[in-house]
Structure 1
Amino acid sequence: MKIAHLGHSTIYLELADDTKIIIDPYIDANLPEMWQANHLKVDYIILTHGHGDHVAGVFDLIKHQQPTIIAVAEIANFFAKLGQKVHGMNIGGGFDFPFGRVTMTHALHTSSLEYEGQVHYLGNPAGIIIEADGKTFYHAGDTAEFMEMDLLGEDYEIDFACLPIGDNYTMGPKQAARCAKRIQAKKVLPIHYNTFPVIKQDPQKFIDLLTDAQGIVLPFGKIYEI
């Protein structure tokens, strides 16, 4: 499993069978052209919730390709009405795709999108567990700390986790570090910080708070393999 952080909460995965997945596309505009939505090829788009800083890139990606969008039912229905291929899921449910298994986990946040002048309520937010290539990957989405994180640590051996640390809209570094311990992740990548002034954070301070997991800060666009 190859992983790249493309800015904010956007994660790109490339699997051994050549399946390409992007999670919450909001791609950093300073990245090379190969990573931009008008050039990047993906087979699946997975969305944790409907806020613009997690779905804005979808509209560019679907202009030149037809990936399958995996999301909670309300988001899936929204994009289905736009003519897109979708696979709707919901919290606690899992599904075996050709590339591996995806499970929707709990997240504490909100989910809506302003589109063509109207605000659309898009169901509950989610976190994502992907089991593929013999690895377990967790993207928490936007979330506060929640009690069920202990169950994630019991039910899964999480090889790599992406946790928001920005505060203000999500949990901050202290809470995220505690969550890393609770989910028993082997490696943790901080996400959802420094994109806007109100979520400015020093990721190294978060990493210094980790007691069990190995913290990693990836330069945007650099491939990391687990």
Structure 2
Amino acid sequence: MELNFGKAIHTLGPSLWGGVGIVLYITLSGFFCALAAALIIAIGRLSKNRVVSRILSVLIELIRGTPLLVQLFYIYYVIPTLLNGILAMAGYETNIQLKASTCGIIGFAVNYGCYMSEVIRSAILAVDPGQREAGLALGFSEAKVMFHFIIPPALRNSVPVFGNYLVMLIKDTSLLAMISVQELLLRTKTYASQTFLTVEAYTLLAVVYLLLSIPLSQLTGILERRLKRMP
């Protein structure tokens, strides 16, 4: 078997470079949306309102109990159909369609948000109770104590775990090929089927993912060490 990595790099390389931009956009958008969702869910889970807490608990179990790929399919194919059907029953003829990349961001935000919410919730519960007591003693309300005294150290302590989730998310973008997002895997599959340079194409794909993931892991480690030196 004769390998031709030079040709693969020359012809597939530019396409993969274009896919990197899409992957980074979806990864970062999905991660920060997931972080915001995780914070909201974690606070809701700790709420004294048992109805809200219970609803969010059920949501987390539903998300953790189904594969991410199934959730992406559901958002991409099912939700627009349901919305069109509901509006049709109300007398409105619509043709709602969601962009595949938007569905990817929503899917990652919901899925990773639920997982990361448990990290934040545990970190909040692990914060020294004296922080809350000090805030209340200074005359702050419960909400201000939460956002000024509890959440900042909780998020800081969660950085290593968040870094791991970010690396996982950048690799999970390969699932978006199943809903036709022109990311790295789909571009590689198309190229390999046209040129039959299967070994070369998928080897390049693996290298690109390594080049994306390893620096993120290193940056997370640097950020973690700097945060540990903070008072």
Q: Larger relative contact order (C-alpha < 8 A, sep ≥ 6)?
A: 2
Q: Give TM-score, length-normalised by structure 2.
A: 0.22
Higher-Rg structure is 2
Relative to its length, the structure with more strand (as a share) is 1
Q: Give TM-score, length-normalised by structure 1.
A: 0.22
